[in-house]
Amino acid sequence: GDLQNPIQQSLVASGENDNCLILAGPGSGKTRVVIHRCAYLLRVKQAPASSIFVLCFNRNAATELRHRLYDLVGNIAKAVTIQTYHGLSLRLSGHALSGMDNVDAASTEQSFKNMLQQAIDLLTGKQHCMNVDSDAMRDKLLAGYRFILVDEYQDIDTQQYQLISALTGRNQDEECKLTILAVGDDDQNIYQFRGANVAFIHQFEQDYQARKHYLLENYRSSAHIIAAANQLIKANHDRMKQQQPIRINQGRKNLAPGGRWEKLDPLAKGRVQLLSCQSERQQAQALVQELSRMRQLDNSLDYAQCAVLSTEWRLLNPVRACLEAAGIPLSLALAKNSQPPPFRIRENLVLLNAIKDSPQALCTASDWLDYIQQKPENIGWQQLKKLLENWQIETDNAQTSKQYLLEYLYESLAEQRRDSRLGNGVFLSTIHSVKGMEFSHVFILDGGWSTPATEEQRRLFYVAMTRAKETLCLLKRQELQNPYLEKLEGDFLLSRKTDGIAMPSVSIENKQYAILGLADFDLSYAGGCAEQAPIHQTLANLEIGSEVSIHNLNSKIVVQKGKQIIAVLSQKAQQHWQQQYTQIQSAHIIAMITRYKTDSAEQYQSRCKVEQWEVPMIEVVLIGRSDL
């Protein structure tokens, strides 16, 4: 696509030695600017592709960027370096990720941190390498790079900041420095709990003697949604765009402020809705009722284009129960803490081992897509298929070394794709997990918002609001205080109460969901059973979605498939579930995890009768009051 406005054009064509900071509002086409800047350097300035380095926040962004650059400039795009922080530190420190099979999610993260530190030490000369002096080492590692482009600069943490400083040669002589263009939005910094530090984007101009530019035209949301988001974020004082509100793009300026829903919906007329209700349960029902009302107005409304966003996972449970009761399809992101260690999930392990064991040193993405074609159609294989399809785009299905493919898969799986969706329908997620995504219709739940208001939580609310393209519905529970909703007022808003909602049946009211993960099981239970014991075959036959049952057997809580015990709860989980297991309505497998004898402490290894075995991860549905 072409550039959409003169500001984008002037940024793309800025001087080769100009360091730039682009403060880009939500929906303003910042990725497009990064891509066109690369194309400008390649085509107009004739810069070699090997001189351009693009640093992305995650693997998904890197794949999308490469794909779009390829569409714009063709084959030459393949020679541009487009990396994530993980991928870059792997490349610089020369580590192979494929040695990381035996670790859980937490140690994977730690391994990445260590690699990142090693890369920084190499670039800054703190770690010496075979008698090569640090400047020569830096030149060797960064041979030929002249331009670095960094996306999502507001989200970097101290370590990533140090890496970018070392890459650009911020503390080096003039001739060693790389030209940097960074894109970010301090209003969308929502990862402080993860160590992201908004101070770095504030000091960028000083760090790099950079010019600051603004991208404020929004190509995503209706004028009403933009007005509401501007009014909310205006209350923050620590902002770099205090005098620069976002605005609807020029091309849509003459459209109705409520977009197509202004005509379509005689009640809300495309305005942002503030729906008041009396309780958490009523909030869930009001949401489902509103969704059904909208579906009646527009029968082409796609449920997969609707998102329900919340501050925390547990607040989504009542909405899930109501959607299920109404027969509306839904789609879930797995909570971070319930995600299994990525390299131990059955499907992932099977694929990684198959690639390693393959006699061919070279392979194409379609070789392995054919392999997946023979596998069961479950979520595990679907996610791997998606990763291989992205790899196919990234490599243009060319032959690459299998080592290269393995590195890509390890890196992608370690990131545990925050946007992976289980099922296809109304998307239920926390706000932190939908950064960078967009939906036609967004509902933001009340609950979990801090009082008094904080600037970080206001940014979180702002990120949630600006995901919406066509309609935005803010829910307000009357028994709670929500400082972010109190100040909203204007022509863009319709406030109304939800009255006369039929009370739900008991089953909806008290439905709870919980995940039994690795911490909840006696992990060596199946390991203590001989190889020919029937438990191993039963475990192997379980698939994602298989129903299992939970029983109290001689005062121990066990999981069974038919008559066969497949897992026993750990001592800690026994105490928690002793009271509650009778409330379990159903339980099903969400993943099968491989455990190795060598995972156990040495003194326990002698009890293991097999080298490896499987442990299930299970989702349970409970009925009745619960402290989950």
Joined tokens for residue 499: 């009255």
pTM beyond cutoff 0.75:
yes
Q: How far apart are CA 8 and CA 48, in angstroms?
A: 23
500 vs 265, residue with greater confidence: 265
Q: Identify whether residues 291 and 158 lie together within a single domain.
A: no
Boundary-marking domain end, from 387, 417, 447: 417
Residue 391 vs residues 82, 130, 454, 492, 521: alpha-carbon distances, Å: 13, 35, 41, 43, 36
Residues 6 or more apart whose CB falls under 8 angstroms from that of 144 comprise 48, 50, 51
Q: Identify whether residues 350 and 263 lie together within a single domain.
A: no
Residue 472 · residue 442 · CB < 8 Å: yes
Q: Identify whether residues 255 and 202 lie together within a single domain.
A: no
Q: Identify whether residues 517 and 594 lie together within a single domain.
A: yes
Q: Identify whether residues 618 and 544 lie together within a single domain.
A: yes
Q: Identify whether residues 267 and 167 lie together within a single domain.
A: no
Q: Identify whether residues 305 and 327 lie together within a single domain.
A: yes
Residue 107 · residue 153 · CB < 8 Å: no
For residue 48, is pLDDT > 90? yes
Is there a domain that residue 297 lies in? yes
Task: State pLDDT tens for residues 143-168.
Answer: 789 999 999 999 999 999 999 998 89
Q: Identify whether residues 154 and 208 lie together within a single domain.
A: yes
Q: What pLDDT was estimated at residue 506?
A: 40
Check which CATH number belongs to the domain holding 113 and give it.
Answer: 3.40.50.300
Is there a domain that residue 504 lies in? no
Task: State pLDDT tens for residues 80-102.
Answer: 999 998 888 877 777 666 556 65
Residues 6 or more apart whose CB falls under 8 angstroms from that of 116 comprise 85, 86, 89, 159, 160, 163
- Range 68-85 average pLDDT: 91
Is there a domain that residue 503 lies in? no
Q: What pLDDT was estimated at residue 269?
A: 98
Query: What Rg value do the Cα atoms of the chain yield, rounded?
Result: 26
Q: Identify whether residues 81 and 207 lie together within a single domain.
A: yes
Is there a domain that residue 224 lies in? no
Boundary-marking domain end, from 497, 519, 535: 497
Q: What pLDDT was estimated at residue 270?
A: 98
Q: What pLDDT was estimated at residue 503?
A: 47
Q: What domain range includes position 396?
A: 346-417
Joined tokens for residue 370: 């054919």
Boundary-marking domain end, from 417, 448, 467: 417
When the pLDDT of each residue in the chain is averaged and rounded to a whole number, the result is 89
Q: Identify whether residues 302 and 451 lie together within a single domain.
A: yes
Joined tokens for residue 427: 């998307």
Domain total in the chain: 4
Is there a domain that residue 229 lies in? no
For residue 410, is pLDDT > 90? no
Is there a domain that residue 330 lies in? yes
Q: How far apart are CA 428 and CA 352, in angstroms?
A: 30
Is there a domain that residue 201 lies in? yes
Q: Identify whether residues 549 and 607 lie together within a single domain.
A: yes
Q: What pLDDT was estimated at residue 625?
A: 55
Residue 388 vs residues 382, 398, 521: alpha-carbon distances, Å: 10, 13, 32
Is there a domain that residue 236 lies in? no
Q: Identify whether residues 466 and 596 lie together within a single domain.
A: no
For residue 505, is pLDDT > 60? no
